[in-house]
Structure 1
């Protein structure tokens, strides 16, 4: 199951009466059934309840306008329960003072983020604590590319969203100039400066290293905890992005480049993870300062999407 499959099924589901369709089971495809934990013999009302609950949970981390757009698109907003999709779009256009075309784009963007969230939270179930058990309130990363071995210092403040959180599931994606060259777990060195103990490393994919950080003591719901890590990898990074599997409220990134600085540096903000390495996907250009550094700042990061910078010599 991929995010694209979830996107396509959500786009079909929003048509007509949306979540209020009489025979809802006929409109919910196999990907959504997995995402919403729907069994084969469930009736329309049971399916409606599960889909509604899952969508409302997934949109909580979206920006206000995108959250409203998704809820209205499916008829889940209490003021947008019109029978037809075009009427719900028109209501939202009036509410946000935008034209219908802009509203449709925002709905599509919201659906893409919801699909990525669904996939990200689904993937995390193979780790001890699934998604939505904690989130990152503040993440600050300083990346030094002018060292013999590139180094990244990460300072993270997390908030427990449930009781008895005693481990954080973290991950880092390492990229090489040649995507055909697989990454080995030994290519990444990790040092914990404070906040826990590294208990497990695993290759989650050909270029993604999963990390389990055991906390000094379990966190209760609402408690905050800070950790500091250093990552070193003998690789040449064409980009550095944060692709969170748990929501991130704030991400600040400093990158210090070696001399001469790259010919091109672009901002990557809320792009698909695979698009981070695709030079056809472009963002605003960034210029390094007199020290060869760039500084970028992001708010309300959606799990499954990429945020950071890409460069090209």
Structure 2
């Protein structure tokens, strides 16, 4: 751990201490309290325009995302200390720690130590996320720096001759004067011996303009640089939408996966299959390692399509580097999929 990272962890730990005071994240003054905490404001994705309820929702979502893979006892300590747990709705931290002690069958002193240990790790996770957001892979013009995705809404259409995806993103500026960002779209690697397919066709629907043609990175990774309508200040949100059309002749794998490189608060997905190409089986996967998507026994809960051949999903507690989305068994004779 570098000295700068150690300092960042210490600062975030102090800001989390402030968040634990009084009613925790249920505090009536949470908005003003969070506004004075610069680091947590970035981690939570809070903006000056957010209502008190929105600040609370973002704070709870971020804490749960950061602690998603904690041991149960450690995650419970975090949720009790911040008054997130329904079983810990007490007006003071000491009351919540006493309640935690009863739940864990330990002394109050031990419960306090559990809280301190849990928030040390939470501060480390928050510091790592803060640095990932600010140190994303660089592009020559710096368009990968100083912003983060807060939500993604995707529409995958499979009722068209070839699949097409419309992705609507809400991004937040993490530095002043943000005017340019990048977006990436990836397709699976082509089988050996198959010629390289043409580029994916990308079209901005609203909220930005394409600065240049796509930059191809490897066989199936496409990077687009986007100019925003105006410069954004720190904490400002902006929404844009793009449609990607898969070129004819490109055989793809039967799944759609969102694998965020940085944290994202929410992901919504709608898939339209088409009445004449209904899959025999559909499943949802949530937070799986991307490599598992290639396994025959890859995890996922079964889903049912509605009367028009669609399915809509929502995902939260999203972690960077893991896959979220939908997979299906293609209809017999559907040659678009590998």
Shared fold, TM over 0.5? yes
Equivalent in 187, 200, 213 of residue 199 of structure 2? 187
Q: CA RMSD in A?
A: 4.6
| Alignment check: 8 A CA contact 2:190 2:196 kept | no
Report matched runs for 1:6-85 at 5 Å: 38=2, 48-49=6-7, 60=43, 63-65=62-64, 67=66
What is residue 295 of structure 2 aligned with on the other side?
A: 278
Q: Whole-Å Cα distance in 1 between the matches of residues 63 and 256 of structure 2?
A: 27
| Alignment check: 8 A CA contact 2:203 2:243 kept | yes
Q: Structure 1 residues 209 and 281 mapped into 2: Cα distance closer, same or farther (>3 Å)?
A: same
What is residue 29 of structure 1 aligned with on the other side?
A: none
Q: Structure 1 residues 264 and 177 mapped into 2: Cα distance closer, same or farther (>3 Å)?
A: farther
Q: Does 1:308 align with 2:325?
A: yes
Q: Structure 1 residues 135 and 186 mapped into 2: Cα distance closer, same or farther (>3 Å)?
A: same
Count, aligned residues: 252
SS in 2 for 1:124: coil
SS in 1 for 2:136: helix
Q: Whole-Å Cα distance in 2 between the matches of residues 306 and 68 of structure 1?
A: 17
What is residue 83 of structure 1 aligned with on the other side?
A: none
Q: Whole-Å Cα distance in 1 between the matches of residues 287 and 221 of structure 2?
A: 19
Q: Whole-Å Cα distance in 2 between the matches of residues 146 and 98 of structure 1?
A: 53
What is residue 172 of structure 2 aligned with on the other side?
A: 159
- Greater fraction strand: 1
TM-score by length of 2: 0.58
Q: Any stretches of 5+ residues in structure 2 without a counterpart? A: 17-38, 45-60, 82-96, 106-113, 331-338
Q: Does 1:299 align with 2:312?
A: no
TM-score by length of 1: 0.63
Q: Whole-Å Cα distance in 2 between the matches of residues 274 and 196 of structure 1?
A: 33
In the TM superposition, what is the alpha-carbon distance from 1:143 to its structure 2 partner? 0.9
| Alignment check: 8 A CA contact 1:167 1:213 kept | yes
| Alignment check: 8 A CA contact 1:170 1:212 kept | yes
In the TM superposition, what is the alpha-carbon distance from 1:225 to its structure 2 partner? 1.7
What is residue 126 of structure 1 aligned with on the other side?
A: 138
Q: Does 1:150 align with 2:149?
A: no
Larger radius of gyration: 2
Report matched runs for 1:250-269 at 5 Å: 250-258=266-274, 259-269=276-286
SS in 2 for 1:275: helix
